[in-house]
Structure 1
Amino acid sequence: MTAHLASETQRYLAQAEEFGAHNYHPLPIVVSEAFGAWVTDVDGKRYLDCLAAYSALNFGHAHPVLVDVAKAQLDRLTLTSRAFHNDRLGPFLEGLAKLAGKDMVLPMNTGAEAVESAIKVARAWGYRVKGVEHDRAKIIVANGNFHGRTTTIISFSDDPDARDDFGPYTPGFVSVPYGDAAALAAAIDDDTVAVLLEPIQGEAGIVVPPHGYLAEVRRLTLDAGVLFIADEIQSGLGRTGATFQCDNEGVIPDLYLLGKALGGGIVPVSAVVGDASVLGVLRPGEHGSTFGGNPLAAAVGLAVVGLLETGDYQRRARELGAGLRARLDALVGRGVVEVRSVGLWAGIDIAPGLASGRRVAELLAERGVLAKDTHGSTIRLAPPLVVEADELDWAVDQLEAVLADLRG
């Protein structure tokens, strides 16, 4: 039986290699089922999921509330397009707006769509409200950013893998060092319409800016009459121990960008959430999406809002994150050079020369822990918020054993 399943795994991997575009380099694990914080591959081996689909699975695999809502909606209505109303969209828009303390929601599908939508909104706001001369609008971004991989978004990326050979690039963006408020202040001019930032840079390796940085960004943007757009697609919806990472810093941006966990790991759901004075600049026909705000997505999204309203997941991320950080800090000097974390989101820098992040991820997988590397030597941990404390301890035990083996 095991040999048969192993052959099925190899057959799948061969199919993916032959017929799939090579835009990913996944670990050679073929997952066939999952529940909570655990997944099972086609060989029957179980793994603790410490990536959670880059925070899309904050509430775990197959959360019963979300699955029940999705199944019920599948039997009723899945798509109308925005040519008509549907009975799930209104409640979702209201619930998400109230959760964020904002007036309006622009529903889309993927995180990159939310970012692209916010760029359009910011430019329109700049021309129609701020009075910037047409085609001169600038948006300030940060070095090391990751907001998606569309052609416009990669135009302001400094990641060569995302950017090189995909030009010509879209103009209108100015990049400054992340966490440097003085550099940001110096970059703002009369044509600046927005500052677009991740409150924590995820793809860069869970890079946490200095305390007070986001508050200073908010002060600078308010003083200059510039929008502050917070990309909370990975950091939001409970991951960092608050509904939004901006909450942890006492900051309210003009626009939140949400995605990933908003779809509960079931369907892609994203949104731009903001004040009517900003989102209200859009007019019928200027922006849209056939699937954005579809009934299935709206039903699941509303259920996600309901889970977050209890505060239980935010609390779990805070409490479990504190224990995770203590365990990871104990590995510094024992194969780890630095740990950065907020809530249940951690970046772990492996000692130079010990092993690549990819190799550490492979060795963790052999021990039943799924994690992902980034930027060569960093491992990211972002388990579902339903994970238990003893499971986290076990995962760190496996990392400790991997590092010990590598050190010899």
Structure 2
Amino acid sequence: MFETLGSRLQSVFDNLQKRGKLTEADVDVAMREVRLALLEADVNFKVVKEFVARVRERAVGQEVMRSLTPGQQVVKIVHDELVRTLGEPGRLNLGAQSPAVIMLVGLQGAGKTTMAGKLALHLRKQGRRPFLVAADIYRPAAINQLETLGKQLDIPVYSEGTNANPVTVCANGIKQAAASGATTVILDTAGRLNIDEMMMGEIKNIKARVQPIETLLVADAMTGQEAVRVATDFHQAVTLTGLIMTKIDGDARGGAAISMREVTGVPIKFLGTGEKLNAIEVFHPDRLANRILGMGDVMTLIEQAQSEMDMEEAQRAGQKLVSGDFDLDDFLKQLQQVKKMGPIGKLLEMVPGMNKMTADVDLSSAEKDLKRIEAMIQSMTTDERRNPKMIKASRKRRIAVGSGTSVQEINVLLKQHREMQEMMKQFQKGGRGRNALSSLLGGRM
């Protein structure tokens, strides 16, 4: 979502770092570009003005002008002020109350019901016992969707249909959750296409009745400047305790997240990063600032790997790879584990410096290539995967037809697998391993 903003800011800082000593005029030119980049990213005008003023005050101070690396110092200042603007890390305050009640509010279409399921799954991974309450009585589809999510995740869902009172539904749902031993209740309240008095009156009544410990606004990051007004109105009505930004993986310009946090003073708790139910991240301002400035996000990448990958299986595969005994069945398993972590583009943006290296790379094409490789391997028998040498002409034709690919593509896959095995065997022998790797990379080492 922050690609355009990130690339603009990185361009500004690249120019700064090419200079030796910075003058006040250099800083002013850079700040003008930063201001334009933020405004184009839909950051609120007042937020931009205050942000740039803070950065400029520090950038023309002694810490930069006397620095041996003034350009890098300005980047650090922007990073620090960006973290300050984005606020504190996203932590739920569930206290000692049991069950702890979380109320989700927001406009229709922001992804509130899906987020209820994502949040429930996240909390269960943290060792809690979540319970979902379908309080959106105006949309039968919302109730059905939450019940479907509950079955999919094996998490209980309470509903009373479309003819009940939402306040009563929430109160009864919490009682049911307490009786079942749940430790956290998530209330999926109704949304509207626009804010209206009925909507605000309803969530006010729910909050007064059940006293949720967290009241979280689920906001669509793609709504731009309008998101600030929505957040302000909800905060004035029910006193929000946090924000959840959805559709972060979309092509929005990103300013809504920065603006909403600064204007309301309410912390961002979570980011919705995709359609899958595990596509939710705890908000870390420093990590998001790193991504915006092209510094990567290694910690989130590690956490996702630990969460989604079978680490014992990965270790076994690593041992087989080093020994040169890594067959196509092992490769397929690792490919499927990597896919669980999300799109390739999203993973690469977390690697420091990778954004510049892949700027001219068609990542959507890379995704398609991985799918084709997966299809080819899945079209093989178990014996063929474990012993690719047995795959001769007739088998190649069958695999190509089954995977929708060509015999030439099958040949390329088998050749790459053989070369990888040979390379790892050379590493095992020592000495010649580096030469083998160099030849595979076209002599670039």
Note whether the superposition's TM-score is higher than 0.5.
Answer: no
Larger Rg: 2
Q: TM-score, normalising length from structure 1? A: 0.32
Q: Higher strand proportion, which one?
A: 1
Q: Higher helix proportion, which one?
A: 2
Relative contact order: is structure 1 or structure 2 higher (C-alpha 8 Å, sep ≥ 6)? 1
Q: TM-score, normalising length from structure 2? A: 0.30
